[in-house]
Amino acid sequence: MTTDEPRARRLETFRSLAAERLGHVSLGWIELEQGALAPGRVETMMRELHTLKGEAGLMGLAAVAAALHLLEDLVGAAVRAATAPPPELGDLVLAGIDAIGAAVTAGDDPPALAAFVRAAQARLPSAAPAAAAPAPATTPAAAALGLDDPTSRIDTRQLERLGDAVAELVLIRHRLADALATVARARGTGDGDDGLGLVVGRLRDDVRRLAATTAGLDALARELRMVPVERLLSRFPLVARDLARELGKVVRVTVIGNGVEADRAVLEQLQGPLLHLVRNAVDHGIEPAAERLAAGKGEAGTITIRADVIGTSLRVQVRDDGGGIDIDAVRKSAVERGLIEAPSARILSDDQILAYLFSSGFSTRKSVTPVSGRGVGLDVVRATTEALGGTVTTHNYPGRGTSFVLLVPVSALITGLMLVEIGDGRYALPAAEVRAVLPAADHPVVDSIDGPAIRVAGELVPLVPLPEILGEPQVTVADARLILARSGEITMALAGTRGHRDREAVIRDPGPILEGNPYVRGGIDLEDGSVALVLELDRMVTAARGVAVSARHKGGPITSQVTAKVLVVEDSVIMRDIIAEALRAHGVEVIEAADGVEALAALELHPDLRLLVTDLEMPRMDGFELIRRMRLQPRPTRLPAVVVSTRGSDADKLAAIEVGADAYLVKADFSRESLWSHIARFLLP
């Protein structure tokens, strides 16, 4: 070890400690401004400042120590005052915290630090220039503060190496278990000698001991990765304070989460979502003071950020006591932005309407401001939370506020999985997303408006043919089974798997070869040296819409030629031409119409039509009205109707079913193959 390495390690530890201590000071100052200091908070603030000043001196950061001395004087004077500190003092104190944090991170003296020192000295004219704590002549003094103790903080690289070690031990455990099973079988068939019994016994003991050791190491690794959640939450009161002042609002922030810990990697991912939620609460949630007073509320709005642990999940709630969400405004904006048809929007429940808040680009603001109206925010919250394997829910209390709740895993080092074989490949599914394994014979495939499905407890569940999606060959199994899985709000039936078995493993990054593959979230090492890919289930249902699977033409080529006449109704000339060209490639005769009025005339002229393909939103007469009127016309046989629309909500599909649609394809999922998979069952013999 070189002479620089111990200092580099101590400096890294000091930076971690400084960020934590400054977070406590920042949170305490915000509470002091709001007149809502938590018990013991003053003592914590002053102790953290004093300790950090000494640590900075020991590390030889004289300018940082001098700034901390002035900051300590400013905070101490404010604490001793009988009144709330004035806003300009708060600006100075918080600017000092930021400047000190930046100086510690950069390891130098940025201009902001010097500016704070000048402003603080001007505000404390009686104070002599601050002197830094003397640096020690030898390093043992650092150990007295715990800075030289390598167990006081462990950096990210060490944690990654520990995680790799756990992964390797898990793999070795499975290899030994596999070897044990092989030897035990050989002994049972009489292929071994008498010494095999002793070998089997020793192997069995070793597998048990390794399993216990691995579990203990996994638990230790999880503990080392855990950091106080308050370290993250303490940043947001300052964000709320600054934004509230910018908007001319009065906002108080309460943080509740003392003692709660979570994996540092999880907390790093949550920074962005929580920042969006806090800013939204100040901007959208809390009303201006005049509106609050008129509504019988206090002038100051309240935002509560609460963190707790439920089982193996971290729950973070951001709640405000503002006016709540205007459901009608959200409903109107969803229609105006083309996210849903007006007839469908009218029948949606409030909870279903709230889900549109998380759509990309959604906003109820009519104009763009420095804070809102850009349609960026809540879609990021949902995407990041789901990427962590969690969920986000919204609770609206009209006139009383809004609550957003994030539920994510506390930690995820060793993960429970279900190993399966699909075609020639081996894959894994997160065990938390697997609900049941069902006999395929007990759940026959039926047609639904979205394509093939099965019935489970009276509900239609979309069928996802994994071999077709993953490009694997279909393997026939005598006792075929379906995996009932749930990802987010979607329940699906996975077909084409075999060899189901449970496994615990460490999921590794997919690597550059598979990066960007929408169906893979990572891989796990197997005992024979191969890798099983861990599937990303939430994209499977969307993919299944584009797979040609139908009980009427299962296994048939998608280029089948048919003799049929189809009416295509679409106001977009380009889209109409694309659909018509795709159908003509199969030998279909196409009749075209630009809207519902033209389509009704075409229905009269062509009694031999076999199918109607229609958009929903069109001038003069939309698709809903067209299908409804077509169903009122007398025809020799019922004419199937397939909807091809930009609308993809459950409400749109329900409304289409109610007027008589038979299948539904979302334009975002459109391809020649997906179109043919939706209509072939109506045209093929």
For residues 332 and 202, which has the higher predicted lDDT (pLDDT)? 332
290 CB burial (10 A radius; 0-12, 13-18, 19+): exposed
With tokens 């016309």, the residue in question is 633
24 CB burial (10 A radius; 0-12, 13-18, 19+): buried
Determine contact, residues 663/449, Cβ cutoff 8 Å.
yes
Please name the helix (run of DSSP H) or strand (run of DSSP E) that holds residue 26, with its range, or none: helix 4-34
Confidence of residue 397 (pLDDT cuts 50, 70, 90): very high
With tokens 């106001």, the residue in question is 571
Confidence of residue 356 (pLDDT cuts 50, 70, 90): confident
Residue 545 confidence (pLDDT): 53
pLDDT at 301 over 90: yes
- Write 504-513 long-range contacts (CB < 8 A, 24+): 504/170, 504/414, 504/415, 504/416, 504/417, 505/167, 505/170, 505/171, 505/414, 505/415, 505/417, 505/428, 506/163, 506/166, 506/167, 506/170, 506/413, 506/414, 506/415, 507/412, 507/415, 507/417, 507/534, 508/167
What number of CA atoms fall less than 13 Å from residue 193's CA on the CB side? 1
The pLDDT tens digits of the residues spanning 552-573 come to 334 343 345 667 899 999 988 8
The average pLDDT across 268-278 equals 86
How far is it, in rounded angstroms, from Cα 104 to Cα 62? 11
Q: pTM of the entire structure?
A: 0.53
For residues 134 and 425, which has the higher predicted lDDT (pLDDT)? 425
Tokens of 527: 């005992």
Residue 218 confidence (pLDDT): 66
Residue 144 confidence (pLDDT): 30
For residues 398 and 637, which has the higher predicted lDDT (pLDDT)? 398
Determine contact, residues 536/428, Cβ cutoff 8 Å.
no
User: Residue 286: which of 268, 298, 275 has the closest Cα?
Assistant: 298
For residues 75 and 207, which has the higher predicted lDDT (pLDDT)? 75
Residue 178 confidence (pLDDT): 74
With tokens 């169906």, the residue in question is 519
pLDDT at 609 over 90: yes
The pLDDT tens digits of the residues spanning 43-75 come to 888 888 888 887 887 778 888 989 999 998 898
* Residue-wise burial string across 558-583, b where 16 or more C-beta atoms lie within 10 A, e elsewhere: beeebebebbbbbbeeebbebbbebb
Q: How many C-beta neighbours within 10 Å does residue 392 have? A: 21
Chain-centre distance for alpha carbon 397 = 24
Percent over 90 (pLDDT), the chain: 16
pLDDT at 412 over 60: no
Chain-centre distance for alpha carbon 390 = 6
Phi, psi of 542 (to 5 degrees): -60, -40
The average pLDDT across 107-117 equals 83
How far is it, in rounded angstroms, from Cα 18 to Cα 68? 11
The pLDDT tens digits of the residues spanning 417-427 come to 889 999 888 89
Provide the 3-class DSSP secondary structure of residue 219: helix
**DSSP labels for 62-131?**
HHHHHHHHHHHHHHHHHHHSSSPPPHHHHHHHHHHHHHHHHHHHHTS--HHHHHHHHHHHHHSTTSPPP-
Amino acid sitting at position 643 = V
Q: How many residues does the chain have?
A: 685
Q: Residue 451 — left, alpha, or beta (φ > 0 → left; ψ -120 to 50 → alpha)? A: left
